[in-house]
Amino acid sequence: MKRFESSGRRTALLSRALVPALALALAACGGTPDQTYVGTSPDLPKPHRGLFPVLKVSPPAAWGDERPQVPEGYTIQAIADNLLIPRQMLILPNGDILVAEGRGGRAPKLTPKDVIAGVIKARGNTQVESGNRLTLLRDADGDGVYEGRSIFADGLDAPYGLAYADGSIYVATQDALLRFPYALGAVTADGAPQEITRLPSAINHHWTKSLAISPDGRYLYVGIGSDSNITERGLPVEENRAQIWQVDAQTGFHRVFATGLRNPTALAMQPGMDQLWTVVNERDEIGGELVPDYLTSVRPGGFYGWPYSYWGKNVDERVRPQDPEKVASAITPDYALGSHVAALGLAFSTPAMGPQFANGVFVGQHGSWNRDPPVGYKVSFVPFVDGRPSGEAIDFATGFLGEDGKARGRPVGVAVDPRGALLVADDLSNTIWRITPPGGAQGGPAAPAQPQPGAAPAQPAVTPANPPGTAGPPPAG
């Protein structure tokens, strides 16, 4: 115990002594051009490694009377606030919204740089405690105001990925894949969840476990991030990491579906097709323009480069030992989203979102912490033609990063209401935003809430929530 306390004291002293000075040095290494390399064929620059990596965190500020900016004719409102770190969302068959709240991770710091980076990054995050729960939101009368709010389940270990099929809600926490039985209209879980399978979690440098389900409900797909930036903890700790698993929803049996994906933070199944897509956060510390985070379809058995290469067959010289055979097999992703944008949300659109945004995907970009000037801090739309990304990405919701350099919000999960609305989870102001197109439906159930055969009666009561607002995060400190 004394040894542990001594180590902790040394870390605290090191942080207090070095953070201010080194932060200035790190910031001084910025000034990279504002080029984001977006699209299907980005012409990437050469890697660049300075003495220190860039650390540039935007300090939080309250929204006040401001709102995110959306396209002309579209309307945005906050339908829930005062949440506890909302991450991903799931729209249930009756139109209720399930929100996963929490923060995970337990990776030890390896170097003084890690300690300092952790302190600086924390200054740009919300200061509320991790919710470790699922919150249910309901708009009972269809007026677009979600007056109903209840805790569906709590005591979870950093829930993140969500999926639904055949009377079951699936939740991927940072260490397990769980199933909750669900009766249509229920506002609380009926007991503890069933564990389907354990998930890799020994270090959890990247703790988020994204989730999607096959159209027939048979298979679950789980995104599992790497345990390092670029194998600095050694290759052995990367076993079962940087992968997508395919899990049998009934038995828990799993197999590796795809590899070489550094951090697949969101998954989505393409409507009308049995095709899985993901957004991936790529590696750091080789320049402000490298490496692009990306959107890609996922091929069964496909290898996407990490750690040996990026954006296809661009070799990362930092990795030892090298593996030319793996590099030769690396698949080039479908669409570059820009370097360090931190894409955390992915949702396919529907025609109800309006003609310009009818065919494509929305991507929630949490925002950079290691680029100057910062990028991300928005929701973008990537148009599709014939089932593939095509054309320039469009900024759909902006203003999360103000002109004063302060962050009012940070988008995470996105979800499309089939009646015509985009939902955005903002884990800095702890808000769920709802964006509707001109003449779009107000809200309410997507279909009448009819009990499923053999299911328990629906539970109509739900605890009223506080009136929706736009409370900003508490001061950082």
Average pLDDT, the chain: 86
- 269-312 pLDDT, tens digit per residue, is 999 999 999 999 999 999 999 999 999 999 999 999 999 999 99
Report pTM: 0.87
Gyration radius of the chain over CA positions: 21
**Looking at the domain assignment, is residue 233 inside a domain?**
yes
Q: Which residue has the tokens 């699922």?
A: 134
The answer on pLDDT for 441 being more than 90 is no
CA nearest neighbour of 153 among 175, 170, 129, 140:
170
Residue 76 tokens read as 């945005």
**Looking at the domain assignment, is residue 93 inside a domain?**
yes
**Looking at the domain assignment, is residue 474 inside a domain?**
no
**Looking at the domain assignment, is residue 472 inside a domain?**
no
Q: How many domains does the chain have?
A: 1
Contact by Cβ (8 Å): 130, 98: no
Query: Of 286 and 453, which is predicted with more confidence?
Result: 286
The answer on pLDDT for 205 being more than 90 is yes
Q: What are phi and psi of 50, to 5 degrees?
A: -95, 180
**Looking at the domain assignment, is residue 330 inside a domain?**
yes
Q: What is the mean pLDDT of residues 197-207?
A: 96
Residue 414 tokens read as 């996105």
| pLDDT value for 105 | 87
Beta strand 194-198 with 431-436 is unpaired
Q: What is the mean pLDDT of residues 319-334?
A: 97
The answer on pLDDT for 12 being more than 50 is no
- Distance, in Å, from the CA atom of 208 to the CA atom of 92, rounded to the nearest integer, reads 22
- 115-171 pLDDT, tens digit per residue, is 767 776 777 788 899 999 999 999 999 899 999 999 999 999 999 999 999 999 999
The answer on pLDDT for 458 being more than 80 is no
The three state secondary structure string of the chain is CHHHHHHHHHHHHHHHHHHHHHHHHHHHCCCCCCCCCCECCCCCCCCCCCCCCCCCCCCECCCCCCCCECCCCCEEEEEECCCCCEEEEEECCCCCEEEEECCCCCCCCCCHHHHHHHHHHHCCCCCCCCCCEEEEEECCCCCCCCCEEEEEEECCCCCCEEEEECCEEEEECCCEEEEEECCCCCCCCCCCCEEEEECCCCCCCCCCEEEEECCCCCEEEEEECCCCCCCCCCHHHHCCCCEEEEEECCCCCEEEEEECCCCEEEEEECCCCCCEEEEECCCCCCCCCCCEEEEEECCCCCECCCCCEECCCEECCCCCCCCHHHHHHCCCCCEEEEECCCEEEEEECCHHHCHHHCCEEEEEECCCCCCCCCCCCEEEEEEEECCEECCCCEEEEECCECCCCCECCCEEEEEEECCCEEEEEECCCCEEEEEECCCCCCCCCCCCCCCCCCCCCCCCCCCECCCCCCCCCCCCC
Q: Which of 87-101, 230-244, 393-407, 450-464 has the lowest mean pLDDT?
A: 450-464
**Looking at the domain assignment, is residue 454 inside a domain?**
no
pLDDT band of residue 35 (cuts 50, 70, 90) is low
The answer on pLDDT for 417 being more than 80 is yes
pLDDT band of residue 423 (cuts 50, 70, 90) is very high
| pLDDT value for 130 | 92
| pLDDT value for 450 | 33
- 222-240 pLDDT, tens digit per residue, is 999 999 999 999 999 999 9
The answer on pLDDT for 390 being more than 90 is yes
- Distance, in Å, from the CA atom of 216 to the CA atom of 214, rounded to the nearest integer, reads 5
| pLDDT value for 206 | 97
**Looking at the domain assignment, is residue 234 inside a domain?**
yes
**Looking at the domain assignment, is residue 475 inside a domain?**
no
- 347-387 pLDDT, tens digit per residue, is 999 999 999 999 999 999 999 988 999 999 999 999 999 99
Residue 110: CATH number of its domain: 2.120.10.30
Q: What are phi and psi of 351, to 5 degrees?
A: -55, -25
Domain that holds residue 227: 2-32+48-436
